[in-house]
Amino acid sequence: MKLNHLIIGVFLFILAQIMVFFQTNGQFIHKWFRDNQWVVAISGVIVSFLFIWGTRHLVSAMNGLFWPTRFIGFGLGMLVYSIGVSYFFNEGINTKTSISLLLCVVLVAIQVFWKTS
């Protein structure tokens, strides 16, 4: 595994997931997002590039495998979303959500650390 590609890929995915969180939920956080929907939507171009570049780095880090990249992206998205919802909307994390988040962490860990032949 190429550690530098993994770090860059994870960073790009987290950044993209943060932007997606604000694109979809910003309307409930601040009036600016509701009043500037076109600007928010057009920022999706930046998000797309972050996902494209992040995917490139993660596939490289995973020695050309695509499934680990998908699971890592999903898991990071769930973690970013849970932090955002908890912070901005004061939605506590109940037992069901805690178990789901734990499974996301396990999913990412399996993809990163489980060596295949």
Asked whether the beta carbons of 75 and 108 are under 8 A apart, the reply is yes
pLDDT tens readout for residues 31-70: 999 999 999 999 999 999 999 999 999 999 999 999 889 9
Which pLDDT band, with edges at 50, 70 and 90, does 81 fall under? very high
List the alpha helices (DSSP H) in 43-94.
44-61, 67-89
pLDDT number for residue 108:
82
CA atoms in the 13 A half-sphere facing the CB of 6: 14
pLDDT number for residue 113:
85
- Residue 63 vs residues 8, 16, 19, 46, 48: alpha-carbon distances, Å: 15, 22, 28, 26, 23
The domain in which residue 77 lies consists of 3-113
Q: Per the structure, how many domains does the chain have?
A: 1
pTM summary value: 0.87
Asked whether the beta carbons of 85 and 95 are under 8 A apart, the reply is no
Taking 70 as the threshold, does the pLDDT of residue 1 lie above it? no
Q: What DSSP state is assigned to residue 116?
A: P
pLDDT tens readout for residues 23-34: 999 999 999 999
Taking 60 as the threshold, does the pLDDT of residue 117 lie above it? no
